[in-house]
Homo-oligomer: A and B are copies of this chain.
Amino acid sequence: MDKLRVSLLGATGMVGQKMVRLLSNHPFIELTKVSASPGKIGKKYSEAVKWVEGGEIPQHATDLRVVSTEPEDHKDVDVVLSALPNELAEGIELKLVREGITVVSNASPFRMDPEVPLINPEVNWEHLKLLDTQRQKRGWKGLMVKNPNCTAAIMSMPIKPLLKYKLNNLIITTLQAVSGAGYNGLSFMSITNNVIPYIKGEEDKIPKESGKMLGRLNGDRIDHVELKAMVTSTRVPVKVGHMGVMYLFFDSQVNAEEVKNELSRFRSLPQEKNLPTAPKTPIRILEGEDRPQPEIDVRSENGMSISVGRVKNEGNAIRMVVLGDNLVRGAAGITILTLEVMRELGYV
């Protein structure tokens, strides 16, 4: 079988580097182009990047020459993956899609567009069906697929298997890692030995994006789930790993053991098809009373598995602490897993 040829936008950023790592030795995706800011065009990737991933730059990328984000530079690939910053993504991605290119993107523009699937593969791979009518409805020649905000990607996972119980209300306090703001997003002086109890835009995105992802495919549109969620987002001095302390309020009492069972046995298409980037256990239940912890748990299954601990009944509520790798499960990893699902379903 031929490999999928992909190019990567935003390849020198932190999420871009993570994708470069995840694509090394991929069985059927081949990174053939990298794109970065104009000043880097023409340079070898190894010269253009300030490699912060640790270890060496993977061989498959070192000698790639940086190209522009213009469509003509991406005509000969099957898919463009985008790790662009949000503020640059809208124009660049739209231009590519209009020119006939398929774009799978982490950036925020178009996430809430009703014709654009917002994919967290295990949660809502079915929503890719929106692609069947996207071209026609929008007049695009290519296809556009989005991945959610990193926190929404992580927190929506354990909610999915619990939707079968009647969920009324949700209270989440997040403790989010600094890498979520980008490599230079927060200065050492501002966040070390500190907590900043606010992240711009985040408290709205989590329920909105989760409401779409957890929604039901209804013909050629998504019926969003109405999540009555109260979210407080805080930034903590941790490099990688978004944690959420979640209270889920149900119509009636739900048993904690049952919840743990539902979560730990949750499987979806990526597991059934044994896709290369899919975690075997999408949601790990940890019984240790002091878990999950970023330093111990965030890299489980290469960062693609969500860790859940401290599951406990309190009346009609279930309390749980949820942790995921914001750079992998929340960004680079789901983009690649989304592409794997798209190929499985024949969209690429």
Contacts and interface: CB of A to CB of B under 8 A. Distances in A.
B195 A189 contact: no
B192 A188 contact: yes
B193 A193 contact: yes
B187 A296 contact: no
A14 B294 CA distance: 18
A189 B179 contact: yes
Copies of this protein chain in the complex: 4
A54 B310 contact: no
A339 interface: no
Given A175-B234, A186-B187, A300-B56, A321 B51 contact: no
A198 B290 contact: yes
A9 to B, nearest CB: 21
Interface string A261-277: 00000000000000000
Nearest to A240: B193
A326 to B, nearest CB: 12
A163 interface: no
A55 B46 CA distance: 29
B239 A237 contact: no
A238 B195 contact: yes
A171 interface: yes
A16 interface: no
A51 B243 contact: no
A245 B239 contact: no
Interface in A31-82: 51-52, 54-56
Interface of A: 14, 51-52, 54-56, 171, 173, 175, 178-179, 183-198, 230, 232, 234, 236-239, 241, 243, 245, 247, 289-296, 299-300, 309-310, 314, 317, 319, 321
14 contacts: A52-B296, A54-B295, A173-B232, A179-B189, A187-B187, A187-B188, A192-B295, A197-B309, A198-B289, A198-B290, A230-B247, A232-B245, A236-B236, A237-B237
